[in-house]
Every structure is written in structure tokens, then in C-alpha cells.
Chain A
Amino acid sequence: MSETRVRFGPFGGRYVPETVIGALDELAEAFERYREDPAFLAELEGLLARFAGRPTPLYRARRLEEAWGVGPIHLKREDLCHTGAHKINNALGQVLLAQRMGKQRIIAETGAGQHGVATATAAALMGFGCTVYMGRLDMERQRLNVIRMRMLGAEVAPVTSGAGTLKDATSEAIRDWVTNVRTTHYVIGSAVGPAPYPDLVADLQSVIGREAREQFQADEAGGLPATVVACVGGGSNAIGIFRAFLADDVRLVGVEAAGEGLESGRHGAPLAQGAPGVLHGSLSYLMQDRDGQVAEPHSISAGLDYPGVGPEHSHLKESGRVEYASATDAEALQAFLDCSRAEGIIPALESAHALAWVRDAAAAAGAGTGPLLVCLSGRGDKDVEQAGAALGIDDG
């Protein structure tokens, strides 16, 4: 049996109330058992192929290369997954696991609403009742996803504590789980939280990197990308694509949200500006004040509006294996527009942060940057209202 990773260097762990320790043990056991169980894996692969639409294509973005003077650029099209983002990979795997564990109810937190929609979808598919916790502010800025979740039969529970964003929704989901732990499985949406979640989510998302690596080698005569780029909020799409390249001589870049600028303090960049601390059950880089109170993050993208990050990323930062950069709201918005107009692909604002790095940092380095593999983690349908307003193209 594969051992679940509890710690990544000094990071990770299980900093949770005693009430849920038994449930974490149970989940770790189920994960270890089913990750190598042929029947389970066959069922999951079947769902990923016939329900979620995997494998997602690897697409060469030639007009962006031309516009930005950099390339080749290969986009891993997670935006083409059913429900619009990579989140479905994790949701299907975890809800299937919950079914095997005999749980009766599913809960989740959501920021942008993509994980909430993915979980509500998986719950509908497998016949579970589902409650999704979502911050008040996020419910406003991601209204369409709120409606989608309700259409799928999920209850969307508004969270008013704090700033009403992903951090607060996650805390409230954990409180629900502490209360209903015997019957309920908590589908955490990113590679964060207490062990075994970071390893479980990374494992379920590693399909992104496995596919992308094979597809890249097929397209580029067996070669490897020079650089792999992904946005990092909690960091599940990034760890999902990075894991396939950790052992290779490939530059790995995670792009955090610089919000209104790192110096403004209004950002979502714990790896750049935070310090190790404990939030939501694991030790990792965290935006916090000197007393240890967690800071309110800011990003134009609800999915990156989180003060923490998955523990494996903290470890990869300290080991130096992955570089962590950042892109501001304005830079992401410009890349969002560039990609839409050059390629006919409206990316999620989250994914636009990875594209912004390609345009600015890779373009500055010029020729020799080599082939880039970018994880286009989701599509921007959910962002039309907000981006439309920010770009001044909404008549409403």
C-alpha cells in the first residue's frame, strides 16, 4: 500500500479538533486502499472519460505566441472539462470514495464556485445530498455558479463571518464536518487542509500532468517542456500538473495573485509575502499579522482569494524545486482579454494569472525560454460579469 503523505518537509500535519481525527484516519485508510484498487480506479477512469470528458486536449496557442513574442505555448485545456474546470477531477474521486466509505451526505466549501459546482455535480450523479458553504461576497461575484449549484440540487449556505470569502467558507465547512462527521464526507476543493487531504487532492489532480506529459511528448517528438506554469491559490491544479515533472529538468513556475500589488498588502500571495502558520488544519505559508491573526486576502479572482496555500507548495518553495511568482489583478485581466481575442478561449481569471506570467516574465526573457506548458485550469464563463465590469464592456 502507498503511504499517505502527512507531511511535506515540516509542512502539513493534522491541526484539527480531536473530534475529526477518527474521520481523517478513516479517509486515509480508504484512500490508501482504493488508490490501488482496480475496480475503484476503473470506475473513476470511466467517469473521468465518459462523464467529465477526459483526456482534455493539449492545444498549441499560435496566435498568442505571435501576439506575445514567446513560445511555443501549449495550453492544457482543463477549461474543457465538464463543469468548466479541473475541479471535477477531484470532486468525482472524492465523492466516489465517500460512496465506498458509506457516507450519506456531502459538504464542500467554494470560492469561485467552480469546486462547489463540481461537487454538486458529482453529488447529483451519485445520489448524495450536498451542502456547499460559500462566502457572501463570493455569492455576489459568482452569482451564476450559485444558481448552477441550486439547479443541481445542492443547498448553498451563505457564510457571513470575516470578509465572506473562501477562508470563511472553509472554516464553516469544517465546523459542519466536526458536527456531522459520522455521516458526512467533506470534499475539500484544493490541496490544502489536514492530512490526508493535500495528498489525496494532489493524487486525484495528478491526471492533469500525466496526460499533459504524454500529449506533449506526442506533439514535440518525445521532448519535454522547458517551463510548466500554473496559477496557485490553494494550488491543486498546479500540484496536479507539477507532480508529473518534479523529477525532470523542467522549470516549474507557480503564479500567485498579487491583487493590487504585493506592496499594497491587498493580495493573495502567502508564498511571496507570508510566513509559516496554521490555517484549516495544516502548517503552510500563510498571510498573517505578527500576533498570528490570519489576514484578509484580495484578488480579482475568487479562486485565488485565499490567505493560505497547500503544504506541498510550501515545501517545494523551500526546497527551491518550484519558483513562485505573482501577477496583479490588472496583469491577469489583460492576459484574460489577450487570450480571449487571440485564441477564442475565454480563460478563468485564475488561469489568466498563469497566462500573465507567460506574457510578462517569459516574454522578457525572450528567445530560449523554450516550449511552455500552461495549465489553463478553467474557463471564464463564471467571470463574465466581473470581467465585463472591470473592462468597461458591460452596458448593464
Chain B
Amino acid sequence: MAEGAQRLEAAFAAARGAAFIPYVMGGYPDAAASAERAIQVAAFADVVELGVPFSDPLADGPTIQAAGQAALDAGTTPETVIEIAAEVARVGPPVVLMTYVNIVLAAGPRAFCERAARAGVSGLIIPDLPIDEGDEIRMQATRSGLAIVPLAAPTTTDARLAQIGRAGAGFLYCVSVTGVTGGSVEVGEELRGFLERARRHVSLPLAVGFGVRTPADAADIAAVADGVVIASQLIRLADDAGDPTAARTAVDEYCAAVVERIRATAGAATPGS
């Protein structure tokens, strides 16, 4: 079974310009509010990325770290987030869970993958699970029909990109910068060169994340990739808005602007894979 990977690849194929992949931290600021936020952004999204908070998130910068810690302090468990994923998957586009390997190991790879698949989740993004680790997790994900979405970074060699392409499914998550989430991206020579190398060695759609802040950033990336992930910026927008109503409005306006800019790149250049 590879339904998850197929759903993800279909979502990329159907997206105009590039796929918009907003991120919501499950359980932040609390379970109900994050569920609402996820449903809200799903209306704009081609794929929704839901964070399962972990106590020691090595790949995350201060914004996502703080949101994850607040979610844990509010009592969020992996099950809380999987229930939110089920709600989103019923009404919206494919859902991928972003978490760290110890969360999957603690639940047991089989139990975690089966539970996520039953909730309608399409894939898992595990930034501390490079392709040489986690055979059991990969096997259980495949059995359950979940895609393990691989990550690649500008420092990834050509030979390793080819290996990653063979091991992954759904899409390739291209880390825009050497760094953690929440910085700022620049679509320059380095990123272009990295994406060209990824394109040569990996046949999956390419999504770019880490440090995407403005609708203009999103448009720049849409011109060279197949998908744009926006995470920390969405959290900052909602945090800075003050109250839930203002946060809702700010997120709506931001997502609408991003989608408009991304869609406008359709037909301009077709990076297509």
C-alpha cells in the first residue's frame, strides 16, 4: 500500500504554481485552538503539516521550540495531535505529521504508524531520522501506507541525494539553509544550485522550507520548486496578533496573499518534475 505517497504526489501535481504547505504546531496554544488553526489553513493548503511536539527539537529554532514547549505544558500528547490530524484529513488536503524519532520509538513504530494511518495521515517528516537509520520505522510506515518524507540540505552530496531519492516517498523536503527553522531564506545561487542538484538526483516533487517569511519569499521559491513550507512565520503572526480573532484575520490574510503569489507563478516558469 502506498496511498499516502500517492495522495501527496497527487496534491503536488494538482497544485497551480507550487504546493502551499502551511505548518501548525499541534496543541499550541491548546488543542482546540490548534485544531481550529489547522482547519483554517487547510482551506488554503495543498498539504497540511502538523507538528507533534517533542521536548528536545534539534532542528527547530526559537519560535517552534517555544510553541512546542507550550503545547507540552498544556498537556499535548501525540494522540492529541493525531486526533487533530484526523479532523483535518476528513475535510481537507493530505496531512503529514512532523515529529522527532523518539516520539515514534516510544509509541512503537508499528503502533504509531498504524494509528496515524487510521487517522488518515499521509506521511511523516522526521528531521532526526536520516536515511541510514530507522529500518523498522520505514518498514512499518510502508505497511501502513504512510510516506516517510525525506529531508535534504544544501550540504547533502550528490551521491547521498540519489540514495535519499530512492528511500523517500511523497515529496522531498529541501531545507533551504544550513540551519534550524525560523531563520530567513534567500533564493540565491546556493539554493538554486542545491535544487538543481536535487532535481537531477531525485524524481519526487521538491518542497522548500525553513526561513520562508513573506508572500514574496514564497513566490521566489515557487518559481524554482514544487512546494513551499511555511511554519515559524505563521506562528509568529498569530502570536503577534494579540487576540484569537485578530490572529484568525492575520492568518487568513497572510495565507490568501501567499496563495495568490504562488498561483501567479503558474505558467511563468514550469519547474515541474
Residue of B nearest to A281 (CB): B128
**Among residues 162 to 181 in chain B, which have CB atoms less than 8 Å away from a CB atom of chain A?**
164, 175, 177-180
Report whether A292 and B102 are in contact in the complex, using a CB–CB cutoff of 8 Å: yes
Report whether B132 and A14 are in contact in the complex, using a CB–CB cutoff of 8 Å: yes
Residue A290 at the chain B interface, CB threshold 8 Å: yes
The docked-state distance in angstroms from the alpha carbon of A294 to that of B103 is: 10
Residue A342 at the chain B interface, CB threshold 8 Å: no
Residue A340 at the chain B interface, CB threshold 8 Å: no
Residue B72 at the chain A interface, CB threshold 8 Å: yes
Report whether A17 and B102 are in contact in the complex, using a CB–CB cutoff of 8 Å: no
The docked-state distance in angstroms from the alpha carbon of A260 to that of B15 is: 57
**Among residues 10 to 29 in chain A, which have CB atoms less than 8 Å away from a CB atom of chain B?**
13-23
A72 to chain B, nearest CB (A): 43
The docked-state distance in angstroms from the alpha carbon of A294 to that of B54 is: 8
A245 to chain B, nearest CB (A): 31
Residue A278 at the chain B interface, CB threshold 8 Å: yes
Report whether B101 and A178 are in contact in the complex, using a CB–CB cutoff of 8 Å: no
Report whether B103 and A161 are in contact in the complex, using a CB–CB cutoff of 8 Å: no
As a 0/1 sequence over residues 144 to 186 of chain A, the CB contacts with chain B under 8 angstroms (1 = contact) are 0000000000000000011000010001001100111110000
Cross-interface CB contact of A292 among B103, B151, B183, cutoff 8 Å: B103
Residues on B with C-beta less than 8 A from A293 are 54-55, 72
Residue A291 at the chain B interface, CB threshold 8 Å: yes
Classify chain A: how many residues form its interface, as a range.
35 or more
The docked-state distance in angstroms from the alpha carbon of A296 to that of B100 is: 18
Residue A112 at the chain B interface, CB threshold 8 Å: no
Residue B106 at the chain A interface, CB threshold 8 Å: yes
**Among residues 122 to 136 in chain B, which have CB atoms less than 8 Å away from a CB atom of chain A?**
127-130, 132-133
Report whether B61 and A175 are in contact in the complex, using a CB–CB cutoff of 8 Å: yes
B166 to chain A, nearest CB (A): 15
The docked-state distance in angstroms from the alpha carbon of A293 to that of B65 is: 13
Report whether A294 and B56 are in contact in the complex, using a CB–CB cutoff of 8 Å: yes
Residue B155 at the chain A interface, CB threshold 8 Å: yes
The docked-state distance in angstroms from the alpha carbon of A280 to that of B133 is: 14
Residues on A with C-beta less than 8 A from B160 are 21-22
The docked-state distance in angstroms from the alpha carbon of A283 to that of B164 is: 22
Residue B247 at the chain A interface, CB threshold 8 Å: no
Residues on A with C-beta less than 8 A from B104 are 292
Residues on B with C-beta less than 8 A from A161 are 65, 69
Report whether B56 and A171 are in contact in the complex, using a CB–CB cutoff of 8 Å: yes
**Among residues 105 to 132 in chain B, which have CB atoms less than 8 Å away from a CB atom of chain A?**
105-107, 127-130, 132
Report whether B127 and A17 are in contact in the complex, using a CB–CB cutoff of 8 Å: yes
Residue B77 at the chain A interface, CB threshold 8 Å: yes
Cross-interface CB contact of A19 among B103, B106, B150, B153, cutoff 8 Å: B153
Known contacts A178-B58, A178-B180, A182-B155; decide if A14 and B130 are in contact (CB<8 Å).
Answer: yes
**Among residues 29 to 72 in chain B, which have CB atoms less than 8 Å away from a CB atom of chain A?**
54-59, 61, 65, 69, 72
Most chain A CB within 10 A, of B78, B104, B107, B129, is at B129
Residue B156 at the chain A interface, CB threshold 8 Å: yes
The docked-state distance in angstroms from the alpha carbon of A129 to that of B57 is: 27
Residue A370 at the chain B interface, CB threshold 8 Å: no
Residue of B nearest to A308 (CB): B56
Residue of A nearest to B100 (CB): A278
Residue B152 at the chain A interface, CB threshold 8 Å: yes
A-B contacts, 29 of them at CB < 8 A, read: A13-B133, A14-B133, A16-B130, A17-B153, A17-B175, A18-B150, A19-B154, A19-B155, A19-B179, A21-B160, A22-B156, A23-B155, A162-B55, A162-B69, A171-B57, A175-B61, A178-B179, A180-B178, A182-B178, A279-B56, A281-B128, A288-B102, A291-B103, A291-B106, A292-B104, A292-B105, A293-B54, A293-B55, A294-B102
**Beyond A15-B130, A17-B127, 15 additional pairs, beta carbon < 8 A:** A13-B133, A15-B129, A17-B59, A19-B175, A19-B179, A20-B155, A22-B155, A23-B155, A161-B69, A167-B56, A171-B57, A283-B105, A291-B77, A292-B78, A292-B102
